[in-house]
Structure 1
Amino acid sequence: MRNTMAAGLAAMIAMYFLGGMSARHEIFPWSQLSALRKMVGGEKAAAPSRYTFDDKERLVGDESKTPVTCPTQTDRTAVLLILGQSNAANDSGQRYRSNYGARVVNAFDKRCFIAASPLLGSTDTKGEYRTLLGNNLIASGQNDSVILAPLACSGSEVARWATGGDLNPVLVDTMKKLQGSDYRITSVLWVQGEKDLVIGTTAEAYQEHFMSMVDTLRQHGVEAPVYISIASKCLEPSNGGFKEHIPDNAIVRAQLALSKSGHGIREGVNSDALLDGEDRYDDCHIGGTGAENVSRAWLNLLRGDRRLETLR
């Protein structure tokens, strides 16, 4: 009797450890039992969400959005094409909405929505400061209406935007849909570079890929100035970055060179220099004070260039 009980106990212990090891390493019989359980019980349904995304993980649907008739573009309308990575996408620590109703809109897929964070067309679902910029452009008297056309993908390197990159066709599609809505882009705002610093992109390669993207813009009728931000700072491994930032680096040198190269390329906001630790909620992404500071800097830049163009 004792021998039988001992044998049974030993078998139970062996089965316990076999089950644990097979589950941990997903080997027989765990994978077979798991598959059988899914067949019998079915997969657990995902919790419902107000958001929907495309295959590039861009936000393409939000049940809270307010659709409106797309405003007619006049000479006092700003149409901003927003490109880049996370600090151009919906990764800010502060959300905003239009203070002017349908005068600041988020244009996406030939439709318009009252601008409110997060914006359709870019990745993630946190905040962004372009809606604040739109509010400020109207409050300053610079524009009567602002069309925000975001296309920014978190963690994207510049090569993905160049000809042959997976985001280049998405860029072309976005331009065509804006043109199909009778919108002429007035400014292209590029905020990107952090990823390329981390992966070691050379200054020469960065310039080559960026110019390829600019060529794509020009080939599809976008004559607007392209503002290239000085952006390379994203700290901490948790953000895919480094522990410390070296201001003089290959990406910054490339961005500065591009801003002086002509071709309708102008220097954008230098977020590396403008934003300190308090402006970034996680040592990388823009927080509330950072959003206010960088939005004000973009406003001053766009207003200054508008005055120069008026005087010409």
Structure 2
Amino acid sequence: MLTLYAHRGSRLTLGVAGLAALALLLLQPSAPGVAASQVLSPDAIQARYAGRAPVLPETGELAVFPGPAGEPAGDCAALAGGRTMVALVFGQSNASNTVDPGYDSRQPVYAFFGGSCQKAHDALPGATGAKGSSWPRLGDRVVSSGLYDTVIFADIARGGSSILNWGPGGTLNPLLLNTLDDLIAQGLPPTHILFHQGEADCALGLDAPDYRAMLEAVVSQIRQRVGEENDIIVARASLYLDPVCSEHSDPACYRSCPTLTAAQTEVANPARRIFSGPNTDLLVPWFDRNDGYHFTAKAADRFAAAWMPLLARGDSPVSAAQ
């Protein structure tokens, strides 16, 4: 099994180490007697990949940025309701704190963690990594556009995580469901669910039908928790640096899995408010990744901009007000 860990001096490379170790698992065969094209239940998928899914620390190295001296913790209740966007973010390292650091939100953009809402700074609490995040950049764009007056991000992304971790029976599934419950209890039911993940499963060699089935099971769990009155946006992602080659300045060292990004696309169902998000295999090429895996500040800006057309849909608060 794969164990991902990081001490203070190396925590910034959590996603790199995780993907490198995942690639070694490609040598392990699938469970015998199971056809790759057969649609399996989440339990059967977990059993099929038993011993191959990433084993992650219970909490990872969670970033907690205290903010400037004297900055008070935000009152979540005061931010609830009205024109407030509440986005639950989950996935792996590029949805966490691995961007080139140094960005502070300029608009009313907050991070939800531990029942409180603090001004969004690098790094966002609740997700792994200790560098920067793409999400405050998106929050500033949302507020500046007039789409919402306030944005709250609850980011629980974990570096190196697989859809097997997030799906039913996975180690991170309780975190996902409990965070949804916490947001609802605080009067902050999510208006949006943003998911960015797939690089780990490309390295792992997860079959596309299994990936799609597990992702659809996650979406069903979310819908059972929060209903149909929010948008679920599934980004497309699979590109990673092959650790066998490992030279991040050589484009030939990068691998992607078009079958996985196709599976992510196929989960979309606009009638149920499930949409395809940015395809970062195309949006963030190899030369815009600061270590071969993670986004540069320039790429994070482009990533944030790519979400805007998806958020500014016809039934947005701005359109409804007009």
Correspondence for 1:226: 232
1:133 and 2:142 equivalent? no
Identity %: 30
Correspondence for 1:275: 284
Whichever residue aligns with residue 219 of structure 1, its letter is Q
Correspondence for 2:259: 250
Cα distance change, pair 86–289 in 1 and its aligned pair in 2 (3 A): same
Cα distance change, pair 68–261 in 1 and its aligned pair in 2 (3 A): closer
Q: Which among 43, 55, 59 is matched to residue 58 of structure 2? A: 55
2:83–2:148 CA contact under 8 A, matched in 1: yes
Shift of 1:97: 1.3
Structure 1: distance between partners of 2:211 and 2:271:
16
How do residues 1-312 of structure 1 correspond to structure 2 at under 5 angstroms?
55-59=58-62, 61-64=64-67, 66=71, 67-70=73-76, 71-100=78-107, 103-223=108-228, 224-237=230-243, 243-246=253-256, 249-260=258-269, 263-304=272-313, 306-307=315-316, 310=319
Whichever residue aligns with residue 177 of structure 2, its letter is V
1:110–1:180 CA contact under 8 A, matched in 2: no
| Count of residue pairs brought into register by the alignment | 258
Which deviations, in whole Å up to 9, do the C-alpha atoms of 1:156-200 show, x marking residues without a partner? 000111111110101111111111110020111100000001111
Correspondence for 1:4: none
Shift of 1:213: 1.1
2:63–2:130 CA contact under 8 A, matched in 1: no
1:239–1:284 CA contact under 8 A, matched in 2: no
Which deviations, in whole Å up to 9, do the C-alpha atoms of 1:197-216 show, x marking residues without a partner? 11111111001111111122
Structure 1: distance between partners of 2:80 and 2:317:
21
Cα distance change, pair 208–239 in 1 and its aligned pair in 2 (3 A): farther
Consecutive unaligned residues of structure 1, counting only runs of 5 or more, are: 1-45, 48-53
Structure 1: distance between partners of 2:231 and 2:262:
20
Secondary structure, aligned partner of 1:189: strand
- Structure holding more helix per residue: 1
Higher relative contact order (CA 8 A, sep 6+): 2
Which deviations, in whole Å up to 9, do the C-alpha atoms of 1:92-135 show, x marking residues without a partner? 123321203xx211011211111111111111111111001111
* Aligned CA-pair RMSD: 2.7
Shift of 1:307: 4.9
Consecutive unaligned residues of structure 2, counting only runs of 5 or more, are: 1-7, 10-56
Whichever residue aligns with residue 254 of structure 2, its letter is E
Cα distance change, pair 127–61 in 1 and its aligned pair in 2 (3 A): closer
Structure 2: distance between partners of 1:180 and 1:60:
23
Normalized against structure 1, the TM-score is what?
A: 0.75
Shift of 1:306: 4.4
1:197–1:250 CA contact under 8 A, matched in 2: no
Which deviations, in whole Å up to 9, do the C-alpha atoms of 1:235-265 show, x marking residues without a partner? 241599x92334x622112111112485432
Larger mean CA deviation between 277-286 and 301-310 belongs to 301-310
